[in-house]
Amino acid sequence: MLAKKKIAVVLPAFNAEKTLQQTYDELPHDIIDDVILTDDASNDNTAELALKLGIFTIRHDQNRGYGGNQKTCYKAALMRGADVVVMLHPDYQYTPKLVTAMASMITSNQFDAVLGSRILGRGALAGGMPLYKYISNRVLTAIQNLFLGYKLSEYHTGYRAWSRDILEKLPLLECSEDFVFDNQMLSQAIFFGFRIGEISCPTKYFPEASSISFRRSLIYGFGVLKTCLQFRLTRIGLLFKNPIFSVTTDNLLLSQLKGDG
C-alpha cells in the first residue's frame, strides 16, 4: 500500500512467457497489493507461468485485442478493490521499477493519471525505438496537443497509472478493442478534465518485446487522427452524442460490475 491506498498492477499479456518472469521479479512487491494478468489467448504458456508465479490470472478463450485485454484488466482491478491501477506490459519493454513513483504521484492526490514517457529525456532512441516510430510519435503528439488543447510529451506510451476514480468515470466500454484504445482512453481523460502527469521512462526494444507491424502502425495512426477530430468537434459542439465522449449508465465499467454482482 501507499498512503493507505491499495495498489494493483495489471499486465495485459499476449505471448509473454519469455519476459514475464523478469517483469514480475522487478516489480516493487513491498508496495503492491495485487498483480493481475489477462492472457489474450496466447499461443505459449503465459497463463501457466503467471499462475505458477502466484499472479491472479484471467484467460480469454478468444483473442479480443489489446483494448479488449485492458478492459478485462481494469474491470478485474476494480472488482478486487484497487485504489490505484498501474498498467505495465509484461514484455519487459518498460522498467517495472517505476511503479512506486507513478503510483505515488496519484496517491499524493496531485494527479489522476500518470504516463511513463519514453520521450522525456533520451529514452526512446537510446532504447532502440525505430526512427520511423519516433518520428511518427512526435508528429502525432504535436497534432494531438493542438487538437486536444493539452501538452504532453507523448500520448503513445503503454506504461500508465490510473486512479480508481478515473476508471470508474470514463466511458471505457465505448473504446476500441484494438490498439487505439490507449489513445481514446487518454483523450477521454483530457475531455473530462482529469489531471495527467508524466515521468521519464527508459524503454528497451528487443526481439521478445511486443511491437506492432508497420501496417498496424498506420491503422493506429489514422485511428489517433480520427479520435483527435472527434474530440475537437465534440468540444466545440459540432458533433453530438459521440459515444466515446458521452457517459451513460451502460458504457461504464461499473455497469458491468453491477451486472456481475
Q: Residues 22, 49: contact at Cβ < 8 Å?
A: no
Instruction: Kindly report the pTM of this predicted structure.
Output: 0.94
pLDDT for 29 equals 98
CATH code of 7-260, in short, is 3.90.550.10
- For residues 138 and 151, the answer to whether their CB atoms sit within 8 Å is no
Give the position of cell 495527467: 196
243 confidence band (pLDDT: 50, 70, 90): very high
At CA 174, angle to CA 116 and CA 169, rounded to 5?
65
State the pLDDT confidence band at 215, using cuts at 50, 70 and 90.
confident
Three cell numbers written together for 84: 490505484
Handedness of CA 72, 75, 79, 81 (dihedral sign): positive
- Going by pLDDT thresholds of 50, 70 and 90, the confidence category of residue 56 is very high
Please determine, for residue 121, whether its predicted confidence score (pLDDT) is greater than 80.
no
pLDDT of residue 257: 79
Residue 241 pLDDT? 78
Which letter, b or e, does each residue of 222-259 get, where b requires 16 or more Cβ atoms within 10 Å of its Cβ? ebbeebbebbeebbeeeeeeeebbeeeeebbbbebeee
Using the predicted structure, report yes or no on whether residue 123 has a pLDDT greater than 80: no
Q: Please, which residues bridge with residue 10 across strands?
A: 36, 87
